[in-house]
Amino acid sequence: MFAYYLQLGLRSLRRNPVLTALMVLGIALGIAASMTSLTVFHMMGSDPIPWKSSKLHYVQMDNWDPNQPYGDDGSPPDQITYRDAVALMQAGKADKQTAMFKLALPIQPANPQVKPFMALGRVASADFFGMFEPPFRYGGPWGRDQDAAHARVLVLTSDTNEKLFGGQDSVGKTVRMDGVDYSVVGVLDKWKPRFKFYDLTNGALSAADEFFMPFTTAIDLRQRASGNNSCWKFPGEGWDAYLQSDCVWIQMWVQLDSPARLAEYKSFLDSYVNEQKRLGRFPRPLDNRLPNVTQWMQAQRVVPRDVEVQTWLGFAFLTVCLVNTIGLLLAKFMRKSGEIGLRRALGASRSEVFRQFLIESGVVGLSGGLVGLLLTGLGLIAVRALYADYKNVAQLDWTMVLTTLVLAIVAALLAGLYPTWRACRVQPASQLKTQ
């Protein structure tokens, strides 16, 4: 019977092409508007590392000005000082830990064909790779021993390796950056986190890192971060004074494998800050925070307000389109009252009429969904053109494709419910009489 009703539905839709087109277009536009915005919302807002996001914690400590909090809402700074980062790294109380900052360095390629270029990279500790799990193409990460030895080593990303070594296995080769030679220990495979969730301070959608370098090595070479730096008092003159100052410019992540470990680390952090308070630092009330990946994303508002508003608006628009569809389906079904009366008189039960018309609504929904999917694709192309930095987040994935189709069919069935119910209530006798 399903196949027959499907056939009837298709025939009925073909009989009234303008009305059908109107309904399909209505659903398609509503679906496209809501799904385009929902896709961006989903890609930016959903967990980028679901298998371990609850174990990775960002470290926040309030070393700020006693007279004025760092955040407008009183929140502690979004980065920590060099001296605290080193103290926490040396204590090594977490299961894994990395201090890091953003660094721009000029690369002087050995190949004279390639012009020197500025590379944006990340200074991190050996554990970074085990924590955020970028896949390796060649070689591997440097070890903790190389952190300790301030080794001049690098991990390159695949794009940089392509640029410098034509994509060959470059492990063991040398790269010169700002007059210093580093040897390559590893090359990453294509690593495309949708956004840079491990550095929300310097822009979740900022350009991908091009190299990784040990934290200790960069400090040895007196490399200043090219990311955000904030001071609440004069750091003093010179590099050493800067390292000892209360300026915040370092990001710290720790991996804590269980809630018990998290509680332990929290109390370790509290005792560390209390100890520092006795030394005259940390003048504000104790406020250590260890948000996990998704909590940190919320606190840093990774999803821009505009995207949220667009998503709400997209669904409000879909509602209008559905109300519109209800009206049009009602018009269409009521026009067929005579036919319904005839079928009922010939013995079709109410539930069969109900099924027939619901299938017809479903067909409208599916067609609307398919056209809507196409329009969503176009919508995302438009979004990528409008927002230059959305190229990784304005992308459909399988979840979103399925969601689109399901949403369209559910929407159309919902819209079809009332008109179908009205259609079943057609009295066969009254319809046959007027004929």
Partner 1 sequence: MEIRPILSALMRSKVALVLIGLQIALTLAIVCNALFIIGQRLERMQRPSGMNEVDTFAVTSSGFGEGFDVRSTMEADVTLLRSLPGVAAATAINSLPLSNGGWSSGLVLKPDQRTPLASAAFYFVDAGALDALGLKLVAGRNFKPEEIGYRTMNDNVTPAGVIVTRALAEKLFPGQGAVGRQFYIDDPRTTPPTTVVGVVDRLQEPWVDSKEIEYSVLRPQHLPYGNSSTYLVRAEPGRRDEVMKQVEDKLAAANPSRIVRGLKSVESVRAEAYAADRAMALILGAVIVALLTITALGIVGMASFWVTQRTKQIGTRRALGATQFDILRYFLTENFLITTLGLLVGAVLTYAFNVWLMTHYESPRLPWHYVPVGFLCLWALGQIAVLGPATRASRVPPAVATRSV
- The answer to whether 391 contacts partner 1 (rule: CB under 8 A) is no
- The answer to whether 110 contacts partner 1 (rule: CB under 8 A) is no
> Which among 314, 316, 296 has a CA at the least distance from the CA of 306?
314
Q: By CB under 8 A, what part of segment 198-237 binds partner 1?
A: 223-224, 226, 233-234, 237
Q: Is the distance from CB of 18 to CB of 291 less than 8 angstroms?
A: no
Size of site (CB under 8 A) for partner 1: 57
Q: What torsion, rounded to 10 degrees, do the Cα atoms 269, 273, 276, 277 define?
A: -160
- The answer to whether 4 contacts partner 1 (rule: CB under 8 A) is no
The number of residues in the chain equals 435
3-state secondary structure at position 417? helix
- The answer to whether 68 contacts partner 1 (rule: CB under 8 A) is yes
- The answer to whether 308 contacts partner 1 (rule: CB under 8 A) is yes
Stretch that binds partner 1, among 126-134, 171-179, 266-274, 423-431 (CB under 8 A): 171-179
> Which among 407, 423, 421 has a CA at the least distance from the CA of 321?
407
Question: Per DSSP, what are the bridge partners of residue 103?
Answer: 121
Tell me how far apart the terminal alpha carbons of the chain are, to the nearest angstrom. 28
Kindly tell me which residue out of 13, 24, 29, 187 binds partner 1, with binding defined by CB under 8 A.
Answer: 29
User: Among residues 145 and 237, whose Cβ is nearest to partner 1?
Assistant: 237
- The answer to whether 388 contacts partner 1 (rule: CB under 8 A) is yes
Kind of pairing between the strands at 180-188 and 136-139: antiparallel
Residue 204 burial (CB count, 10 A):
23
The H or E element spanning position 214 is strand 211-214
Token code pair at residue 259 = 């809630």
3-state secondary structure at position 86? helix
User: Among residues 68 and 351, whose Cβ is nearest to partner 1?
Assistant: 68
- The answer to whether 387 contacts partner 1 (rule: CB under 8 A) is yes
Stretch that binds partner 1, among 151-159, 283-291, 320-328, 364-372 (CB under 8 A): 320-328
- The answer to whether 378 contacts partner 1 (rule: CB under 8 A) is no
Q: Which residues bind partner 1 (CB under 8 A)?
A: 19, 22, 26, 29-30, 33, 67-68, 104, 106, 108, 115-118, 177-179, 223-224, 226, 233-234, 237-239, 242, 304-306, 308-310, 313-314, 316-317, 319-321, 323-324, 326-328, 330-331, 334-335, 383, 386-388, 418, 422, 434-435
